[in-house]
Structure 1
């Protein structure tokens, strides 16, 4: 066997391999011998069909199986001997295969990028934090009051302003079909025409009336039309909002008085403001590093990140009662392309920082995190059994990644010059609005802070992308982004996978959870900076 490495880009390589004719012929013999007992050919008993007949009738299947075996047998060794470490499955772009002659195949694959770290030990950053004042505290206490509101029955009462009414309504607009609405809940304001018609009604009463909407009504369908209503009042309630006093504080938990409740709320708000500020600070530091260290990322990894975005968006769409199959997945993937590229770049860059500083996560720390998880969710299962389940699903890798992320950012902060800026409510809301405009939601990134040394081989394949294919990489519900597979060690080999020619991309299939082979990254749109911290892997 001989191999030649071809450099297509910083992260895209190809290896051309020549396999001796003797091995090619032996592989053909093995494949034909396995096929013979399984096929049925008219005129021949099972397993007795002549070899030439099998080669002619099943030429395509035999050729494919031989190619599969030769590539799997030689690709990984050839690529490594040529000086490359693949992080994706090979994609055939050339194949010369004939029994009795040397076979030649050329396969594309991705490799991890080489990250040239910038000077990350002297960053100057600003920590923007929400300033907490008495108005903010009062706002949250009022929220607690409103959430503690009780809705009490109105005995022998009538509809009036402030009463909560549950009713059935039949609406017949002029010139339109009637519509019925069951169990509608209204807070009555008798200054509104409809509510005014209900004033004085009691439970179980019915009333029919008509109203004419003004010509300038915001609802153009109803503007200027007369509408007939039939209303059946079913239940009347009045709101009782508790007073903000010591009794209210005791009802909210183990608080001796109102001052104790205020102190607890203030502490929670301060902790939340600090977490929010630290997350933004991490994002700012990451943006600074990414800008100072441009490098190409493997497109197969970008494709997997896009798969995760599609997976999460499909779940969101389903929760909204919509059909994920109706989503334009190709457009969505293009829309999230820059986000995916940034996530992958962030992973590799932070991983490089962690490796440069020899930042590790001891197994004991992972065990502590798992025990905390068990305590939080009151899991009664034995620790070892629960940990084994997490390891099987890949969750321990995620836990290790998140812990490593924290250590990486802690190290960066320890060497950075950080100034703190307190923002009042108006300034903070302006900051949040700016971030909202920069991004359209942030699903969990596959490549959190540390990327992968290799690749998720089971989920990758070289070649042109299938925009959306059926999902094979399924995420678990109890982690930020559950990987079915860990990053392989350098000597790891992937499981058997059908080799696919690069010139024959899979057909687009907009399924509910997108599973692309790869995603093009040649035409990125404007990058949208994130305010999301992610998890380091090694």
Structure 2
């Protein structure tokens, strides 16, 4: 095999690969053995006709397609390895020369991992953002706990619907006098003032009594999410079946004992503050880290191939689909609900996908430049961390399984973590 390499524009290379005629003839014979049973030749049992006879009946190139594939499977990967080329897509194969007694000559054009020109990556200046814990944060957390532990009581028969009450209602909606899908409900518990229903629907129920019926008129927002509803006026026939009120517990020491392991409200407040501080500290750390990586990537030059962006968008769509499945949804429902389409979503994801790919390429280049190595001990620590997420029992066995099955991924992840630590530790903080 002989391979000539030519670098084209836009991170594309082109090989011209020559396979000696003897090697090509062997590939033709291999193709013959694979396919001979497919051909019926008079005077021969199926699969028993000689190669030369089949070629006479069906043409000299009858087995060339498979023979070329066999040759490409052997020589193309060897050409990549010999020239240290890393492709990011399948090659485009074109035959230059082929024939009996001739060398096979073909070209393979493929997009490759782009070169990265690093800029300044040590000592980048990054602004810090602080998230102090406020008394309002703690108050809101306690109010949420208060709501969660509220008692629901039914109001007296002659009582009327008031703000914050829970109205149990039957309703049926109409647009232009016609019922519409999703516009009907029975025994629906609606908290007045929650904003769960569109427009001033909830306000129009205030003052009604149990058993009252009222026609409520509202308009769907212009960008409601479903094209057939956008900006449309609707009429809902609503019946009040029951009125309930939330009885909130007092925020005192007894409340703290009931909802937590603490004896006093002050202890509960302090615990809430500590949790906020921990969360905010992590948020500050993550945002600072992201800012450092972003600054380093901004300083680097790399022409990200479209095929890599497309592949990353494919991955992002899969991630979205996986998240939706946990909520009992699918992509089709998501597109309908957001008044979008796969094309629009993929276009929206494009910029983020390009940034993700560039970040990955830049970090990998710094790993090479800094000659960052990953030790077996570091791999085992990483594998053990992941193992604890999968199983609470026998972490050691699970860690070894992960090391065997995902060693390359683990090495990549640990190397990235080390290079990010390097970048963050060398950065300069600007208050």
Question: Under a length normalisation based on structure 2, what TM-score does the superposition of the two structures give?
Answer: 0.79
| Partner in structure 1 of residue 125 of structure 2 | 124
Query: Is 1:306 aligned to 2:313, yes or no?
Result: yes
Map 1:12-31 to 2 at 5 A: 12-31=12-31
| Partner in structure 1 of residue 186 of structure 2 | 182
Q: Which moved more, 1:398-407 or 1:262-271?
A: 398-407
| Partner in structure 1 of residue 367 of structure 2 | 354
| Partner in structure 1 of residue 198 of structure 2 | none
**Is residue 317–residue 324 contact of structure 1 (8 Å, CA) maintained in 2?**
no
Q: Deviations over 1:279-326 (max 9, x none)?
A: 222222222222221122344433321211121233456654552797
Secondary structure of residue in 2 paired with 1:101: coil
Flag the structure with larger Rg. 2
Provide closer, same or farther for how the CA distance between residues 61 and 385 of structure 1 changes in structure 2, counting only shifts above 3 A: farther
The whole-number CA distance in structure 2 between the counterparts of 1:184 and 1:60 is 73
Secondary structure of residue in 2 paired with 1:5: strand
The whole-number CA distance in structure 1 between the counterparts of 2:43 and 2:248 is 89
Query: Is 1:150 aligned to 2:151, yes or no?
Result: yes
Give the alignment's Cα RMSD to 1 decimal: 3.7
Q: Deviations over 1:150-185 (max 9, x none)?
A: 334568785543542333334567843486422311
The whole-number CA distance in structure 2 between the counterparts of 1:148 and 1:400 is 47
Provide closer, same or farther for how the CA distance between residues 387 and 214 of structure 1 changes in structure 2, counting only shifts above 3 A: closer
CA shift, 1:275, in A, is: 1.7
Q: Deviations over 1:408-460 (max 9, x none)?
A: 2222222222133xxxxxxxxxxxxxxxxxxxxxxxxxxxxxxxxxxxxxxxx
| Partner in structure 1 of residue 285 of structure 2 | 278
| Partner in structure 1 of residue 398 of structure 2 | 386
| Partner in structure 2 of residue 115 of structure 1 | 116
Instruction: Give the ranges of 4+ consecutive aligned residues of structure 1 lying more than 6 Å apart after TM superposition.
Output: 58-61, 217-220, 324-327
Q: Which moved more, 1:186-195 or 1:401-410?
A: 186-195
Question: Under a length normalisation based on structure 1, what TM-score does the superposition of the two structures give?
Answer: 0.65
The whole-number CA distance in structure 1 between the counterparts of 2:39 and 2:160 is 81
Provide closer, same or farther for how the CA distance between residues 291 and 155 of structure 1 changes in structure 2, counting only shifts above 3 A: same
Question: Structure 2: which 5+ runs fail to align?
Answer: 194-200, 223-229
Query: Is 1:344 aligned to 2:357, yes or no?
Result: yes
The whole-number CA distance in structure 2 between the counterparts of 1:243 and 1:19 is 85
| Partner in structure 2 of residue 231 of structure 1 | 239
Provide closer, same or farther for how the CA distance between residues 139 and 21 of structure 1 changes in structure 2, counting only shifts above 3 A: same
Secondary structure of residue in 1 paired with 2:130: strand
Secondary structure of residue in 2 paired with 1:336: helix
The whole-number CA distance in structure 2 between the counterparts of 1:124 and 1:308 is 32
**Is residue 92–residue 110 contact of structure 2 (8 Å, CA) maintained in 1?**
no
**Is residue 76–residue 86 contact of structure 1 (8 Å, CA) maintained in 2?**
no
- Higher RCO structure (Cα 8 Å, ≥6 apart): 1
Secondary structure of residue in 2 paired with 1:196: coil
| Partner in structure 2 of residue 446 of structure 1 | none
Question: Structure 1: which 5+ runs fail to align?
Answer: 421-538
**Is residue 150–residue 248 contact of structure 2 (8 Å, CA) maintained in 1?**
yes
Provide closer, same or farther for how the CA distance between residues 9 and 150 of structure 1 changes in structure 2, counting only shifts above 3 A: farther
Provide closer, same or farther for how the CA distance between residues 42 and 194 of structure 1 changes in structure 2, counting only shifts above 3 A: farther
